[in-house]
Structure 1
Amino acid sequence: MATTDEVLHAIKKATFPADKDALIASALESGAGDDVVRALRSIPPVDYADKDEVARSVPTAEPVDAHTAAQQARGQADSRIAADLREVAPDPLEEAQRQS
């Protein structure tokens, strides 16, 4: 798995805002390795305003604190459906309390 530094180095010539395809193309042009390209292919297909947004979205080899993991999960859950319109799974604790 690629590191954040490797990913950011591979897209250093990208012009922002950039979409997923532009970031992958930039990485390929810079000669990025398979791990970096694979990491970029796993990000959501949205426009990224800057390298910081890419860094928050791309899965990397570094240990992740809970805050960063949550940001990445939210970024990868981009379904283009407004949050208040998404179907939410029932809370298992509430379900258990109702059944008891």
Structure 2
Amino acid sequence: MLFALLCKDKPDHLNVRMETRPAHVEYLNKLNAEGALKMAGPFLDGEGKPCGTLAIMHADTIEAAKALADGDPYAKAGLFESVDIKPFNWVFNNPEA
């Protein structure tokens, strides 16, 4: 099953994002190699600066998707103000369909 992780950064935490980015990218590369990560990228604010994250993950349950979200170095660093996890049905432009 796919899950969309919609993560909103805390205000004025761009420095946390940038400092933690190498560990975050390493984590996502690991999830990608394991087949759990389907796509990911940052949301951008009006100035083009990252202000959140959208990730589509494969997991058996919403609890497993939450564990993947909790394992992200961004989450561990306290970057996110909120993380919303929703079941997701990839209908259009799904490369696996």
TM-score (norm 1): 0.23
Greater share of helix = 1
Which of 1 and 2 has greater Rg?
1
TM-score (norm 2): 0.24
